[in-house]
């Protein structure tokens, strides 16, 4: 399964986008820091209108202290967020896990973790 198929069929993303107008970028490689291995891909979902929703359960990739997003040493979580005025979503797809593992509303200050 490729990253584009994963992003188009992910339940968390579909739930956020179902009634909305949006475009999804072409994938950008998500690789390790040395540039020797692909972890997956990132996508930018551009929303035609700002997204505001009080309860959204989003996947989050939790990296340990000192870890960066350029390794696959993370724990996958789901947290409840309030999203207020997001104009796009940054989406990380892990090809090894075959899943969307992180959805980050943009700009950064538009999502507040609720629990």
pLDDT tens by residue, 49-74: 999 999 999 999 887 666 556 666 78
Mean pLDDT of the chain: 88
- Across the range 86-111, mean pLDDT stands at 93
The per-residue pLDDT for 38 is 78
Cis peptide before 107 (omega within 30 of 0): yes
Could you give the CA distance from residue 68 to residue 102 in angstroms, rounded to a whole number? 14
Which pTM does this prediction carry? 0.88
The per-residue pLDDT for 48 is 97
The domain of 38 spans 3-113
The per-residue pLDDT for 43 is 97
Structural domains of the chain, count = 1
């Amino acid at each position: 399964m490729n990253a584009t198929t994963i992003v188009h069929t992910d339940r968390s993303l579909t739930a956020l986008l179902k009634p909305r107008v949006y475009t999804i970028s072409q994938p950008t490689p998500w690789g390790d820091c040395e540039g020797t291995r692909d972890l997956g891909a990132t996508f930018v979902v551009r929303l035609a209108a700002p997204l505001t929703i009080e309860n959204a359960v989003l996947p989050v990739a939790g990296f340990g202290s000192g870890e960066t997003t350029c390794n696959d040493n993370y724990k996958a979580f789901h947290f409840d967020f309030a999203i207020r005025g997001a104009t796009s979503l940054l989406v990380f797809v892990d090809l090894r896990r075959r899943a969307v593992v992180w959805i980050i509303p943009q700009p950064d200050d538009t999502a507040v973790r609720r629990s």
